Chain A
Amino acid sequence: MIKQTKQHNRIKVDKDIDALMRKQWRLSSRLGILVIIVVFSFPFLNHFAFDLMTTPILGGFTIAYLAASLLIYPFIWTIAIIYTKKSIKLEEEA
């Protein structure tokens, strides 16, 4: 994303701002892509690995049901805390 702006010849280049944005973008995009991969893999797995995802593992809980109704929550909470701590540190360094 930041690379695209640099290629745009009508935009004034400001090295400080571009560097600042690049650092923040790197953190947000890496964690964001991880979340997107995890979240959007569920419907694909449910479709293409239906038998696996519908295997009961805990009482009536299948892998799909357990992941979508319970496990996603601690995953997102963890990512949110990691992101917040890192981004606050990044801003303090700026």
Chain B
Amino acid sequence: MRDQVPILAVTLAFLLVFVNIFIAVYMSRRTATAKDYFVAGGKVKAFPTASAMSGDYLSAASFLGVAGIVFMSGFDGVWYAFGFFVGFIFLLMFIATPLKKFGQYTIPDFVAARFNSSKARFVGVLCVLSIILFYIAPQMLGVGKVLALFLNLEYKTAVISSIIVITLYVSIGGMKGTTLNQVIQFWLMATAMLAVCIVALSKGMTYPRILEGIAAFKGSIPGTDVLFDGSKWVNPGGWLDLKDSISLLFALCFGTAGLPHILVRFYTSKSGSSAKWLVILVLFFIGMFYITSPYVGAAIRYAFINGDMLPMNQLISSLMTDGRNLAVPVAGEFFGGELLLGIVVAGAIAAVLSTVAGLLLTASGALGHDVYTTVINTKATEKQRIRAGKISVIIMGIVAGTLGIMVENMQIAVLVGLAFAVAGSTFFPILFLGIWWKGMTCKGAITGLLTGLISSIVLIIFASYMPSFLQFENPALITIPLSFLTIYVVSKIDGQVPENVNEFMYKLHGPEQVTK
């Protein structure tokens, strides 16, 4: 807890929340159909979609976690920024355009249509919800930590109040309101991170200089009794060995192409070619962000070991107790005082709001569209479908808040890395093979989804009980190939390829809006 609540941070945070709710209410009047609610009518232009997708993607893990893990682990933490970024290129080259050409509401829609199977849809829903739960927990952890520390709130209170606000504006605004909010949130968090960099650089902390200073440091950190070896920090292998580095990269690179809340964004773009330019824009936006955030982690590490923070005991204490999650706000306050802290806290809240909003919407698509409209009430009216979406958002909001409270003592970036492992082991193989291999069968798809889901969850939760060759910081190196292999073997044995596979492939790969 702090002695004083930073008034500017509180003001900016409330302003952001007020603007988000206002936009949600305003856009709710323009949401007339289920297509408006779930995919914003499917006609959003590339720039706002790219901003919104970047907002969706740059979560608390990116805003707080990447700089935090670089602050803690140095070079090995840079892998997170590297992997989060590189993953998008695989999405661009193998998934984006065919998925847009398919053009429905959800990823289980794709799975169901590819194999003409409601069982496949159901397993798809199960995977969507599992990934979202893994992903949403660290977002709540991020917002809980920041609000608890800087606004003097209890962690639980911070989590609960945040999820109430997000659930409220997502359920009201649907995809249209959420998209506009995510545009604002993305630019706010990008501005916040850039501002910290500019202020740090203006104080003479150039990247080569701080790395040189850190590498040369060996001894106890001023103001603490903690020993620190800078040469280990700047070099690979301080935290992750070869096996874990590759497995983490596997998860981050291929998990991106399996994240349902990112994939669903392609349905909101106007066409297949606009989906490609959309990814290019996203690559530029998130690339600029991932260049800056490891720098912030390194800069605050340099200031920490250099003794620059000695008069600021509160900041030292924050870094000592939870530097892995709080390096960015501490950097904001250290480099730019209350003004920059206010901007950073608003940026952190924006990061969480935008990602959780996207996750809740995707979950509402899975429950409200895939379960309610296609299974429970197939003759639902537009109003009933929208209402089902809103109720689904509220249910998932309650689950997200509960999970957020449960993960209080964990690390944001690591938790999100695990969500990537589940996504990479379930939807990436299904989409990749479903788009490029005509020989995939329904049984192969279902078995592959379940194998990816179960193996990744088992290797995450029961890692300590596994033999050493199956113990990973992130199990994607085992689970992604296992899922691919399962799909291939089961499909070959089964051999029951859907009758309409050629028509489906023509829809994915042929000219847009033309059916053969």
Residues of A within 8 A of B (CB): 1-2, 4-5, 8, 10-12, 14, 16-17, 20-21, 24-25, 28, 31-32, 35, 39-40, 42-44, 46-47, 50, 53-54, 56, 58-62, 64-65, 68-70, 72-73, 76-77, 79-81, 83-84, 87-88, 91, 94
Task: List the A residue with the shortest CB-CB distance to B511.
Answer: A94
In the complex, what distance in Å separates the CA atom of A65 from the CA atom of B298? 12
> What is the number of contacts between chain A and chain B, taking CB atoms within 8 Å?
165
Given contacts A35-B90, A73-B291, contact A80 B502 (CB under 8 A): no
Partner of A68, one of B78, B437, B492: B78
Chain B proximity of A47: nearest CB distance (Å): 4
Which residues of B lie under 8 Å from residue A17 when comparing CB positions? 502, 505-506, 509-510, 516
CB of A68 within 8 A of CB of B82, answer: yes
CB of B273 within 8 A of CB of A88, answer: yes
Given contacts A35-B90, A91-B511, contact A54 B236 (CB under 8 A): yes
**With an 8 A cutoff between CB atoms, is B223 at the interface?**
no
Which residues of A lie under 8 Å from residue B290 when comparing CB positions? 73
Given contacts A12-B502, A17-B502, A43-B246, contact A68 B497 (CB under 8 A): no
Task: List the B residue with the shortest CB-CB distance to A70.
Answer: B291
CB of B78 within 8 A of CB of A65, answer: yes
**With an 8 A cutoff between CB atoms, is B97 at the interface?**
yes
Given contacts A12-B502, A32-B90, A88-B273, contact A76 B437 (CB under 8 A): no
Which residues of A lie under 8 Å from residue B253 when comparing CB positions? 39
Which residues of B lie under 8 Å from residue A20 when comparing CB positions? 506, 509-510
CB of A61 within 8 A of CB of B208, answer: yes
Partner of A10, one of B92, B495, B510: B495
Chain A proximity of B257: nearest CB distance (Å): 11
CB of B245 within 8 A of CB of A43, answer: yes
User: Which residues of B from 236 to 287 have beta carbons under 8 Å from A?
Assistant: 236-237, 241-242, 245-246, 249, 253, 272-273, 276-277, 279-280, 283-284, 287
Task: List the A residue with the shortest CB-CB distance to B290.
Answer: A73
Residues of B within 8 A of A (CB): 75, 78-79, 81-82, 85-86, 88-90, 92-94, 97, 206-215, 234-237, 241-242, 245-246, 249, 253, 272-273, 276-277, 279-280, 283-284, 287, 290-291, 294-295, 436-439, 492, 495-497, 501-502, 505-506, 509-511, 516
Partner of B436, one of A25, A73, A91: A25
In the complex, what distance in Å separates the CA atom of A14 from the CA atom of B499? 12
In the complex, what distance in Å separates the CA atom of A25 from the CA atom of B93? 9
Partner of A60, one of B81, B86, B209: B209
In the A-B complex, the 3 residue pairs with the smallest Cβ-Cβ separation, listed nearest first, are A59-B208, A60-B211, A60-B212
Chain B proximity of A22: nearest CB distance (Å): 10
CB of B246 within 8 A of CB of A8, answer: no
Which residues of A lie under 8 Å from residue B273 when comparing CB positions? 88, 91
Chain A proximity of B2: nearest CB distance (Å): 32
Partner of B82, one of A12, A61, A62, A72: A72
